[in-house]
């Protein structure tokens, strides 16, 4: 009976992960359309402000405990800074690149984590990780490099920077989750993102907003579903499935983004871009599965 219940929970957890990646993948098109009505930092301030408010309400009974441990508070703030940096570069880059390309380039963060970990822990990367980085780099080149000028667009370049921000964010979370409850890190990092955005949008940029149904829908979905709900569900789901299977389900995010972009905007990859996207996915899967290595990366 216990084994049957465990399998049922794992099935529910993995279905939840698929739904999360579907939400995340669909938001690329939604955010790009919303940015026609609002400035970048103001959009992030509204998104993370709504998410932070929702999480503080959900965890109101343990609110005091969330901010009580100094180590978790420091880790959450650091994670929030990295997360905010990733979203700023991704969102600004999304203004001048396509939703599909943004999603696939952002997915490079999975490949960058073991590479950056090797530098931090001073340990040589594994064969799988090197192969994954090479595949993903080749895919990135095919997808973004202009054949005539041998340059990449500003939007693609900013999105690559965002991938580094998300990769560092993953590493910070991996380090500080050992110190206590992940719920505390989740709330603190989202609150940090909200505070940074609210404290900067009014002087870093010229804020503007035109309230339209599409913008309101984007704020509700990205703030409540793609941020507040996604972080909470991810925490629960990872208790009932393996890290490898979790990572493989997250690979679906750029796939869903490409499908959504095709359905909504009719966007299609060129043959060269399609090969590049496939290579990026192959690199991510190579790093996640590590078919040639037995030991895990630090």
For 38, the 3-state DSSP assignment is strand
Token pair belonging to 291: 């078919």
Q: Name the nearest CA neighbour of 87 among 79, 23, 252.
A: 79
* Rounded Cα gap, residues 164 and 109, in angstroms: 6
Token pair belonging to 135: 């595949």
In a domain, 36, yes or no: yes
Do residues 221 and 30 lie in contact, with contact meaning Cβ atoms separated by under 8 Å?
A: yes
In a domain, 180, yes or no: yes
Token pair belonging to 254: 């750029």
* Rounded Cα gap, residues 264 and 115, in angstroms: 35
Q: pLDDT class for 177, splitting at 50, 70, 90?
A: low
pLDDT, mean of residues 51-70: 81
In a domain, 141, yes or no: no
pLDDT tens-digit profile of 267-289? 888 888 899 999 998 988 888 77
pLDDT tens-digit profile of 118-157? 888 788 888 888 888 899 999 999 988 877 776 889 999 9
Provide the number of structural domains found in the chain. Answer: 1
**Predicted local confidence at residue 181, as pLDDT:** 66
Could you tell me the CA-to-CA distances from 293 to 111, 132, 167, 284 in Å, in that order?
16, 13, 22, 15
Triad 88, 89, 93: Cα angle to 5°:
120
Do residues 132 and 283 lie in contact, with contact meaning Cβ atoms separated by under 8 Å?
A: yes
Do residues 277 and 106 lie in contact, with contact meaning Cβ atoms separated by under 8 Å?
A: no
Residue 184: how many CB atoms within 10 A of its CB? 24
Residue with tokens 């580094």: 164
Do residues 77 and 188 lie in contact, with contact meaning Cβ atoms separated by under 8 Å?
A: yes
* Rounded Cα gap, residues 138 and 283, in angstroms: 9
In a domain, 264, yes or no: yes
Most confident of 58-62, 99-103, 107-111: 99-103
What separation, in Å, do the N-terminal and C-terminal C-alpha atoms of the chain show? Answer: 36
pLDDT tens-digit profile of 2-41? 677 777 778 888 888 889 889 999 999 999 999 999 999 9
In a domain, 204, yes or no: yes
In a domain, 292, yes or no: no
Residue 43: domain span: 2-117+151-270
Q: pTM of the entire structure?
A: 0.89
pLDDT tens-digit profile of 73-106? 888 899 899 999 999 999 999 999 999 999 999 9
* Rounded Cα gap, residues 3 and 18, in angstroms: 23
pLDDT tens-digit profile of 203-261? 999 999 999 999 999 999 999 999 999 877 876 776 677 655 666 677 788 989 999 99
In a domain, 249, yes or no: yes
**Predicted local confidence at residue 178, as pLDDT:** 64
**Predicted local confidence at residue 245, as pLDDT:** 66
* Rounded Cα gap, residues 296 and 108, in angstroms: 19
Whether the pLDDT of residue 295 is over 60: the answer is no
In a domain, 293, yes or no: no
Identify any residues that bridge with 38 across adjacent strands, giving them in sequence order.
Answer: 209
Q: Greater confidence, 171 or 50?
A: 50
Reported for 243-251, long-range contacts at CB under 8 A and 24+ positions apart, including other chains, are 244/288, 244/289, 245/14, 246/17, 247/110, 247/288, 248/285, 248/288, 248/289, 249/14, 249/17, 249/18, 249/21, 250/17, 250/21, 250/110, 251/107, 251/110, 251/281, 251/284, 251/285, 251/288
Cβ contacts of residue 74 below 8 Å, gap of 6+?
176
Exposure of 67 by Cβ count < 10 A (0-12 exposed, 13-18 middle, 19+ buried)? Answer: middle
């Amino acid at each position: 009976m216990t084994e049957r219940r465990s399998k049922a929970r794992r099935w529910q957890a993995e279905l939840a992960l698929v739904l999360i990646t579907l939400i995340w993948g669909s938001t690329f098109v939604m955010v790009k359309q919303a940015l026609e009505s609002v400035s970048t930092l103001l959009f992030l301030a509204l998104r993370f402000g709504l998410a932070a408010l929702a999480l503080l309400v959900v965890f109101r009974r343990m609110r005091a405990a969330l901010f009580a441990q100094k180590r978790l508070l420091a880790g959450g703030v650091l994670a929030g800074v990295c997360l905010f940096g990733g979203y700023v570069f991704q969102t600004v880059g999304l203004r001048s690149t396509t939703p599909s390309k943004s999603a696939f380039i952002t997915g490079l963060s999975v490949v960058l984590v073991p590479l950056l970990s090797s530098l931090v822990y001073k340990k040589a990367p594994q064969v799988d990780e090197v192969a994954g980085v090479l595949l993903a780099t080749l895919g990135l080149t095919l997808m973004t490099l202009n054949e005539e000028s041998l340059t990449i667009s500003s939007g693609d370049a900013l999105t690559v920077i965002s991938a580094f921000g998300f990769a560092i964010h993953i590493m910070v979370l991996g380090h500080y989750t050992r110190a206590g409850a992940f719920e505390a890190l989740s709330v603190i990092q989202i609150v940090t993102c909200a505070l940074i955005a609210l404290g900067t949008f009014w002087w870093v940029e010229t804020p503007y907003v035109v309230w339209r149904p599409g913008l309101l829908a984007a704020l509700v979905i990205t703030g409540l579903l793609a941020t507040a709900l996604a972080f909470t569900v991810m925490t629960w789901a990872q208790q009932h499935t393996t890290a490898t299977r979790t990572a493989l389900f997250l690979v679906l995010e750029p796939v869903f983004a490409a499908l959504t972009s095709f359905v909504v905007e009719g966007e299609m990859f060129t043959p060269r871009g399609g090969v590049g996207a496939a290579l990026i996915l192959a690199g991510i899967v190579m790093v996640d599965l590590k078919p040639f290595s037995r030991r895990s990366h630090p």
